[in-house]
Structure 1
Amino acid sequence: MPELPEVETIVRDLARLLPGSTIKKVEVVRPDLIEDDTPEGFAKKIKGKKIRGVTRRAKNIVMDLGGDRLLVNLGMTGRLLVARAGEEEPTHLGVRLTLDKGRELRYHDVRRFGRLWTLADDAWRTFDGELGVEPLSDNFTAEWLQQAAPRSRVAVKTWLMDQARVVGVGNIYASEALFRAKVDPRRPANSLAPDELARIRDGVRQVLAEAIEFRGTTFLDYRDASGQEGAFAARLKVYDREGQTCGVCGGTVERIVQGGRSTFFCPACQH
């Protein structure tokens, strides 16, 4: 599933390409991708609207339509691509938005776990308020972690992935951040000392910023808004490296399962 760096990369591309564009036509090929609305109702809400801006909240792409917002969550295999009208169609096209100036915004999704939906201002404020802190914002501080973490006995890696606490950090970057912080992912959140929480804060911010710089991590499905792969996979230190040598200490990277998800770590570095 795309995490914060992948979504942020796409958002930065779209924020450069889309503002000022008008949605001329809406075609819903896969109705199950539209949440809480019919294809006709969804199309009626966004057709004719001008895209005023594109931002990110958590793992969601948010398009400001001047009052209403169009949100896109990529699920596991979603792609949101800007193309010229008439260019080759993606194989698993789900939704096509025809824009002015001969362009299209195409959403396609092999497994169709993604979703598109609209929110009016009041609904948007409610939705936004239920999400956790943005890890690249000024609100994500060591002091905030020192207040929040002691309230939970959940393992710290699972804690970081809870979108009601910290948004956008998924399986890849939680493992990588904790490796950088030299913290065992199995440690209960309430057992962490202030200096460890400060290292976690720095590790999260550093790995996310670096992954954005390299335009995300591609294993199979992720592509940016131009259809290009991300380049951060080559810089991963522990994720998906079970049995390989740790580049820091020479030990062996291990894999465990936490909450049904694989966690990768170096027992020698993270103790």
Structure 2
Amino acid sequence: MPELPEVEVTRLSLTHRIEGARVRAARLGKPLRWPLGVTPDSLRGAVVGPLLRRGKYLWMPLQQGAEQGAGGLLLHLGMSGSLRFEPTLPPPGPHDHFELETDRGTLRLTDPRRFGAVVWSPGLDRAPAATLLARLGVEPLERAFSASVLHEALRGRRVAIKQALLAGDVVVGVGNIYCSEALFEAGIDPETPAQQLGPERCERLFRAVQDVLRRALAAGGSTLRDFRDAHGMGGAFQSQASVYDRAGLPCLRCTTPIRRIVQGQRATYFCPVCQRR
């Protein structure tokens, strides 16, 4: 958390309001995962371009004039971060670690656990942005993702399918909640070795991943603790979950109690009857 739906919801709630804004000042709080890479004063006067998303990263282009050229900020919300953009905001608190003041309002990154990041890069195709994005898998809601692509990527992978999806190098942004939900929808046991999924089950999983993510986007993502979009609104997908965080409760299909196990230090929820190896 936040995963692809939450980051995309943030982008959608922010981009049309901040695009074209001119930066007046930038301020740093406590250190985040990586340093900004430039002095905050160097961002003054830049104009914000249209926001893009790659996996769980947001790219905010900043045009700094013909002589200075262009670049941008690569933002990551970490495990507990959220962005807020308003004409006026209250004074920053202990968990507010980056602010970008513009002529339209202030963008603030709040991150209680400080695993998030705001990093300057001269371009998406240049370091450090290119380095950070280099190993990301295919976008799950774009045309490049398909059942055949998924099947080919899983060949030879002995790791459990849940962990293969979470790794992010096969398909990007399918986080813990959405992995559990997609595997339930596809009827696949989360401990199934990834390489054992044939074309038919990869087709079911491909469709389930897309369906779950689209429903999560429509619900504004999931808010378990901290996530809010740029308007300050929480998501509602968690209330629609079929298995996630429902350990001991009856399966919505067969009434068997939902089980909880731990995979790679992450909680996994599944139905032992509806999901098969």
Asked whether the two chains share a fold, i.e. TM above 0.5, the reply is: yes
| Matched residue, 1:52 | 49
Quote the offset at 1:126 in angstroms.
4.2
- Verify: 1:76 aligned to 2:79, yes or no: yes
- Give 1:53's aligned amino acid: P
Residue equivalent to 1:256: 261
Gap change, CA 1:15 and 1:221, over 3 Å in 2: same
Select the residue among 196, 202, 214 that pairs with 2:219.
214
Aligned to 2:135: 130
SS at match of 2:231: coil
**Shift of the alpha carbon at 1:65?**
1.5
Kindly indicate whether the alpha-carbon contact (under 8 Å) linking 1:34 and 1:117 is maintained by their aligned counterparts in 2: no
User: Which stretch has the larger CA shift, 214-223 or 106-115?
Assistant: 106-115
Correspondence 1:40-119 to 2 at 5 A: 41-66=38-63, 67-85=70-88, 87-91=89-93, 92-101=95-104, 103-119=105-121
1:147-178 Cα offsets, whole Å, 9 max, x none, are 11112111000000112221111111100110
1:128, distance to aligned residue in structure 2 (A): 3.3
CA distance 1:160–1:45, shift in 2 (3 Å): farther
Which residue of 2 is the match for residue 29 of structure 1? 29
Q: Does 1:148 align with 2:153?
A: yes
Q: In 2, distance between residues paired with 1:90 and 1:6?
A: 23
Structure 2 counterpart of 1:217, one-letter code: S
The aligned counterpart of 2:122 is 120
Structure 2 residue 240 is matched with structure 1 residue 238 = no
Q: Shift of the alpha carbon at 1:111?
A: 1.7
Cα offsets for 1:104-163 (capped at 9, x unmatched) = 111111121211101122223444332111111111100101211112111000000112
Q: Is the 8 A contact 2:72 2:122 kept in 1?
A: yes
Q: Choose 46-55 or 200-209, whichever is displaced more.
A: 46-55
**What does residue 270 of structure 1 align with?**
275
Deviation at 1:37, TM superposition (A): 4.3
- In structure 2, the gaps of 5 or more residues are 64-69
Give TM-score scaled by structure 2 length.
Answer: 0.92
How many angstroms apart in 2 are the aligned matches of 1:34 and 1:260? Answer: 21
Deviations 1:36-57 (A, max 9, x none): 446xx24144322111111111
Encode CA deviations 1:72-121: one digit per residue, 9 max, x unaligned: 11112112100123x323532211111013x1111111121211101122
Counterpart Cα distance in 1 of 2:173 and 2:39: 26
The answer to whether the Cα contact below 8 Å between 1:219 and 1:233 also exists between their aligned partners in 2 is yes
Which letter maps to 2:85? V
- CA distance in 2 between partners of 1:149 and 1:97 (Å): 41
Is 114-123 or 50-59 further displaced after alignment?
114-123
Corresponding residue number in structure 2 for 1:157:
162
Number of equivalent positions? 266
CA RMSD of aligned residues (A): 1.5
Aligned mates of 1:35, 1:96 — CA distance in 2:
16
Determine the C-alpha separation between the residues in 2 that align with 1:212 and 1:56. 14
Distance in 1 of aligned mates of 2:101 and 2:87: 10
Paired AA for residue 17 in structure 1: R
Give the secondary structure class of the aligned counterpart of 1:130: coil
Does the Cα contact within 8 Å between 1:10 and 1:224 map onto a contact in 2? yes
Percentage identity across aligned positions? 40
Amino acid at match of 1:94: H
CA contact (8 A) 2:35 2:118 kept: no
The residue type equivalent to 2:249 in the other structure is Q
